[in-house]
Amino acid sequence: MRDPVVAILGLGKGAGITCARKFAEFGWSVMIIDGDQKVLDRAEDDLGELVCYLHEDQTTRLGLKNALSGTLEQFDGVDVLLNIPPIMDPVGLDELTLDRVSQDLKATASTALMAAQGFGREMIREIKERDENADRLPYKKSFIQLLSRAAVSVDGGAPLQTVTQGAVLSVMKSLVVEFAPYKIRSNAIVATRPHATETEPWLKQRTPLGRAARASEIAEAAYYLASAEAAYINGHALELDGGRSVLNGLIEIK
């Protein structure tokens, strides 16, 4: 019986590498897919032969098809797709163009939806094959979206971040119903992403715990949502925000 397989689509600013390491160290086979060769090179410098790598443009249908084919060729199955859509650079409402909106939505929501279509078909095929052979499916299958807090909250001067991250959150919710007949789960992690410094005054004022989420904490959450222990968690956006969502106003820094 093969090891469980996770495909990681995009690496973000570092959380993706930590997630890959977490899964690999717990016996999962890991495929990292990214369209930026420099990002893959940095990941390989960090992770070495712990995981496998595919250079494919995940924003195109062909790239996603090749990503799935490469994963199956290497591991003969896929159990979890962890999607890490890019966080777009802030742009004010007055500066937005239709081309920019279309481009950013393609790289985020469209990619998430089309990836779910392709990888979901493979998950369903494996489930049906197991059912026909009266063999119990060894691993739970699911989709996980790793999002910034822009998916659930708004910062001035960055409307497109909220629209794109929020659109992926909507994709997550839609997949809950689409894959319900096959018991394939769909969840998200909404995190205050790691910063170069955790002592920025604005961060301490707006977050009861006074810091951003650490990459290791995001990885723990992703691994938990993929695990059998989370088998009944479906359609949930797990917020790693240090308590920010319940804060009314600012905290006085002492």
Helix (H/G/I), strand (E/B), else coil: 219:
helix
Residue 18 has pLDDT above 60, yes or no: yes
Mean pLDDT for 206-218 is: 86
Residue 138 has pLDDT above 90, yes or no: no
Q: What pLDDT score does 196 carry?
A: 44
Mean pLDDT for 82-100 is: 89
Class of residue 231 by CB neighbours under 10 A (exposed 0-12, middle 13-18, buried 19+): exposed
**Residue 135 or 246, more confident:** 246
Mean pLDDT for 68-72 is: 97
Q: Which of the 8 DSSP states describes residue 141?
A: -
**Residue 24 or 244, more confident:** 24
The answer to pTM > 0.95 is: no
What domains does the chain contain, in order, with CATH numbers?
5-241 (3.40.50.720)
Helix axes 15-25, 37-47, angle to 10 degrees: 40
Contacts of 7 (CB under 8 A, 6+ apart): 30, 31, 33, 67, 68, 71, 78, 80, 81, 82, 119
Q: What pLDDT score does 92 carry?
A: 85
CA distance 185 to 182: 9
Residue burial 237-247, b: 16+ Cβ < 10 Å; e: rest: ebbbbbebeee
Q: Which of the 8 DSSP states describes residue 204?
A: H
Q: How confident is the model at residue 12 (pLDDT cuts 50, 70, 90)?
A: confident
CA atoms within 13 A on the CB side of 120: 22
Mean pLDDT for 82-90 is: 89
Q: What pLDDT score does 253 carry?
A: 65
Amino acid (one-letter) located at 236: H
**Which phi and psi angles does 23 have, rounded to 5°?**
-65, -45
Which range, 192-201, 210-219, 239-248, is most confident? Answer: 210-219
- Residue ranges of the alpha helices (H) in the chain? 15-25, 37-47, 61-75, 98-105, 111-132, 159-178, 201-206, 215-226
Residue 193 has pLDDT above 90, yes or no: no
Mean pLDDT for 2-10 is: 95
Average pLDDT over all residues of the chain: 90
Q: What pLDDT score does 194 carry?
A: 60
Residue 198 has pLDDT above 70, yes or no: no
Give Rg (Cα) of the chain.
18
- What is the CB neighbour count within 10 angstroms for residue 83? 26
